[in-house]
């Protein structure tokens, strides 16, 4: 997104922890960053467990930088026109207290919103499309009406949330677990949306039209100004929407194609995967990956391994692990048994580019939003196995609305969310999916009529995604320019 904005004349300052800045600097020279009008600011600090704790930690790390911005503004020095904050960074709007600059005590607290204290514009960024944004927006409405409330650490009235206009395709069980597990934090996201200059969404109009329209129709309520919705996806690593890969195999190590998630493994695993795919027949390979956050428990890994082996289908499996070798988590002699029919990798690979390889037929995915968009851009059908967070809702969108996905199971989540579910509901939930069920799903996607139909619809959806980011009249191109124009008006 930063590159897309900078290519349209916006100077971008990206602020995050120093460890992430160091990763970005592996991709870009100082000269490239200067030419693209991108500044990088690294913050000292550490991160704790879940996403809400990480966001709170970043608040403390951000404080010295904000103090510097405020001093510069008071001194009449140039500063930012606006702030664009991730949806979890509540403190950029709510309750950010600078004790050194403000008189703050329990009797007379003075708290300021970051953007408002600097008197600059403020946008809220959803990296995962419009479904979650609409859920939070509608939840905020229900909270204000009293039909949704928090009682003893649990949200009461969640069934009402799934009835939000624009989200009719969802079922109550598709709602993210975090809305039960972290009720206070998720409530803040809805509060966070009120008063923004705009919502910036990593989606495109044609993909989520009913959701985006409902979001727009209800956004201005409660705002201090008319807020806008900007759909600027599907975002990719290219500097602008028209940049295409110059390599026929889809793999490039240039900054315009590289992704931080596979920096350390790009040369080895990425090229190894491309070389293997080049030897496979067209439209014959199942790509298997569950993202960078979720991990299958050991017995589930073993069941999936058996299913892939028994299916007799060709596959590439990117198996997330920390320090464990693949042979330690796979069945004995597994890689010997599958031979050249399968490839198991333990590092990170350039997923968006690999999915466009001619040998790929389908994608067994956890349905994280980035992976969903990767499948849409590549035009490949999905065998959906959501694990938690927003993934069940994403899978439902692809399965029920676009019919480009087949749900592999109705069971919810892996071991990571098993304990959360048990703590909240007081019930032990069976999350395990046996190898027979997995094998049946694989065969259905790769050889069944359902898989062929999903493939045809995926190719059609790819055309819509390409149209959204092509030329001067693509819906996302137009929306991105509207965002740039809107930012420019804030300088007046």
CA 161 from centre of chain: 21
Q: Does residue 245 fall inside a structural domain?
A: no
Tell me how far CA of residue 344 lies from CA of 73, 104, 272, 325, in angstroms: 53, 56, 11, 11
Task: Provide CB contacts within 8 A for 477, sequence distance 6+.
Answer: 241, 468, 469, 470, 471
Percent of all residues in the chain with a pLDDT value above 70, rounded to a whole number: 80
Other CB atoms within a 10 A radius of the CB of residue 50 amount to 13
User: Which range, 270-274, 292-296, 364-368, is most confident?
Assistant: 364-368
Instruction: Give the DSSP H/E element, type plus range, for residue 16.
Output: strand 12-17
Q: Is the pLDDT of residue 270 over 80?
A: no
Asked whether residue 446 falls in the same domain as residue 478, the answer is no
Mean pLDDT of the chain: 82
Give the model's pLDDT for residue 222.
Answer: 46
Of 277-286, 380-389, 408-417, minimum mean pLDDT range: 408-417
The rounded distance, in Å, linking the Cα atoms of 122 and 197 is 6
Residue 367 contacts residue 347 (beta carbons within 8 Å): no
What's 270's DSSP letter? I
Q: Which of 49, 84, 59 is nearest to 178 (CA)?
A: 49
Q: How confident is the model at residue 187 (pLDDT cuts 50, 70, 90)?
A: confident
State whether residue 168 is helix, strand or coil: coil
Q: Is the pLDDT of residue 443 over 60?
A: yes
Q: pLDDT tens digit string along 142-163?
A: 998 998 888 877 788 888 888 8
Asked whether residue 372 falls in the same domain as residue 480, the answer is no
Asked whether residue 214 falls in the same domain as residue 341, the answer is no
Query: Facing residues of 229 across strands?
Result: 199
Strands, E, within 233-308: which ranges? 285-289
Q: Does residue 327 fall inside a structural domain?
A: yes
Q: Does residue 250 fall inside a structural domain?
A: no
Q: Which of 180, 93, 179 is nearest to 136 (CA)?
A: 179
Q: Is the pLDDT of residue 114 over 50?
A: yes
Q: pLDDT tens digit string along 160-186?
A: 888 899 999 998 888 876 666 677 878
Q: Is the pLDDT of residue 462 over 60?
A: yes
Asked whether residue 443 falls in the same domain as residue 482, the answer is no
Give the model's pLDDT for residue 483.
Answer: 96
Q: How confident is the model at residue 430 (pLDDT cuts 50, 70, 90)?
A: low
Count of structural domains within the chain:
2
The rounded distance, in Å, linking the Cα atoms of 327 and 336 is 10
Q: Is the pLDDT of residue 236 over 80?
A: no
CATH number for the domain including 394?
Answer: 3.40.50.2000
What residues make up the domain containing 430?
260-469
User: Which range, 154-158, 195-199, 262-266, is most confident?
Assistant: 195-199
Asked whether residue 396 falls in the same domain as residue 376, the answer is yes
Percent of all residues in the chain with a pLDDT value above 90, rounded to a whole number: 51
Asked whether residue 145 falls in the same domain as residue 54, the answer is yes
Q: Is the pLDDT of residue 21 over 60?
A: yes
Give the model's pLDDT for residue 181.
Answer: 67
Residue 435 contacts residue 442 (beta carbons within 8 Å): no
Q: Does residue 104 fall inside a structural domain?
A: yes
β-pairing verdict for 154-156 and 149-151: antiparallel
Q: pTM of the entire structure?
A: 0.85
Q: Is the pLDDT of residue 248 over 70?
A: no
The rounded distance, in Å, linking the Cα atoms of 252 and 398 is 29
Asked whether residue 73 falls in the same domain as residue 194, the answer is yes
User: Which residue blocks in 312-448 are alpha helix, DSSP H?
Assistant: 326-329, 334-338, 351-355, 369-378, 391-396, 415-425, 435-447
Asked whether residue 218 falls in the same domain as residue 282, the answer is no
Q: Is the pLDDT of residue 95 over 90?
A: no
**Mean pLDDT along residues 298-311:** 95
Give the model's pLDDT for residue 291.
Answer: 84
Asked whether residue 221 falls in the same domain as residue 267, the answer is no
Asked whether residue 448 falls in the same domain as residue 476, the answer is no
User: Which range, 119-123, 175-179, 248-252, 381-385, is most confident?
Assistant: 381-385
Q: At what angle do helices 131-145 and 183-193 cross, to 10 degrees?
A: 100
Q: Does residue 441 fall inside a structural domain?
A: yes
Q: Does residue 244 fall inside a structural domain?
A: no
Strands, E, within 103-148: which ranges? 121-126
pLDDT greater at residue 336 or residue 245:
336
Give the model's pLDDT for residue 402.
Answer: 98
Q: Does residue 139 fall inside a structural domain?
A: yes
Q: How confident is the model at residue 106 (pLDDT cuts 50, 70, 90)?
A: very low
Expressed in angstroms, the distance from the first to the final Cα of the chain is 24
Q: Is the pLDDT of residue 249 over 70?
A: no
The rounded distance, in Å, linking the Cα atoms of 439 and 452 is 17
Give the model's pLDDT for residue 130.
Answer: 95
Q: How confident is the model at residue 324 (pLDDT cuts 50, 70, 90)?
A: low
**Mean pLDDT along residues 32-61:** 87
Asked whether residue 353 falls in the same domain as residue 461, the answer is yes
The rounded distance, in Å, linking the Cα atoms of 294 and 304 is 15
Q: What is the CA radius of gyration of the chain?
A: 23
Q: Does residue 246 fall inside a structural domain?
A: no
State whether residue 349 is helix, strand or coil: coil
The rounded distance, in Å, linking the Cα atoms of 304 and 342 is 13
Q: How many helices (H) and strands (E) does the chain have?
A: 20, 14
Give the model's pLDDT for residue 322.
Answer: 52
Asked whether residue 285 falls in the same domain as residue 235, the answer is no
Instruction: Give the DSSP H/E element, type plus range, for residue 198.
Output: strand 198-201
Q: Is the pLDDT of residue 263 over 60?
A: no
């Amino acid at each position: 997104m930063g590159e897309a904005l900078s290519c349209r004349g916006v100077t971008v300052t990206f602020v995050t922890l120093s460890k992430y800045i160091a990763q970005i600097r592996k991709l870009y020279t100082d000269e490239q960053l200067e030419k693209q009008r991108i500044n990088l600011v690294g913050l000292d600090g550490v991160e704790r467990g879940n996403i809400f704790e990480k966001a709170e930690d970043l608040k403390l790390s951000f404080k010295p930088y904000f103090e510097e911005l405020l001093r510069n503004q008071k001194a009449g020095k140039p500063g930012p026109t606006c702030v664009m904050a991730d949806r979890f960074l509540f403190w950029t709007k709510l309750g950010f207290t600078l004790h050194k600059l403000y008189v703050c005590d329990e009797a007379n607290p003075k708290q300021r919103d970051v953007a408002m204290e600097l008197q600059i514009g403020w946008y809220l960024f959803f990296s995962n499309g419009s479904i979650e944004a609409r859920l939070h927006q509608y939840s905020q409405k229900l909270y204000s009406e009293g039909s949704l409330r928090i009682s003893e650490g649990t949200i009461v009235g969640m069934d009402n949330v799934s009835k939000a206009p624009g989200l009719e395709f969802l079922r109550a069980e598709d709602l993210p677990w975090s809305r039960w597990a972290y009720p206070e934090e998720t409530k803040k996201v809805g509060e966070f949306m009120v008063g923004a200059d705009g919502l910036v969404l990593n989606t495109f109009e044609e993909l989520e039209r009913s959701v985006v329209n409902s979001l727009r129709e209800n956004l201005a309520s409660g705002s201090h100004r008319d807020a806008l919705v900007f759909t600027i996806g599907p975002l990719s690593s290219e500097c602008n929407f028209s940049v295409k890969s110059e390599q026929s195999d889809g793999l490039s190590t240039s900054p315009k194609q590289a992704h931080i998630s596979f920096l350390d493994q790009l040369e080895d695993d990425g090229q190894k995967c491309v070389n293997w795919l080049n030897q496979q027949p067209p439209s014959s390979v199942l790509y298997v990956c569950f993202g960078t956050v979720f991990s299958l428990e050991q017995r589930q890994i073993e069941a999936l391994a058996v299913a892939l082996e028994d299916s007799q289908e060709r596959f590439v499996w990117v198996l997330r692990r920390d320090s464990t070798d693949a042979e330690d988590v796979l069945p004995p002699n597994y890689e010997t048994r599958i031979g050249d029919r399968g490839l198991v990798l333990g590092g990170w690979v350039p997923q968006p580019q690999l999915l466009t390889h001619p040998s790929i037929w389908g994608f067994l995915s956890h349905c994280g939003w980035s992976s969903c968009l990767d499948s849409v851009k590549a035009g490949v059908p999905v065998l959906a196995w959501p694990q938690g967070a927003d993934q069940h809702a994403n899978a439902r969108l692809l399965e029920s609305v676009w019919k480009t996905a087949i749900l592999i199971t109705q069971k919810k989540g892996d071991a990571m969310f098993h304990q959360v579910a048990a703590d909240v509901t007081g019930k032990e939930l069976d999350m395990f999916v046996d190898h027979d069920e997995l094998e049946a799903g694989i065969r259905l996607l790769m050889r069944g009529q359902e898989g062929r139909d999903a493939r045809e619809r995926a190719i059609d959806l790819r055309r819509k995604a390409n149209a959204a980011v092509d030329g001067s009249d693509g819906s996302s191109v137009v929306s991105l320019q509207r965002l740039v124009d809107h930012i420019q008006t804030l300088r007046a």
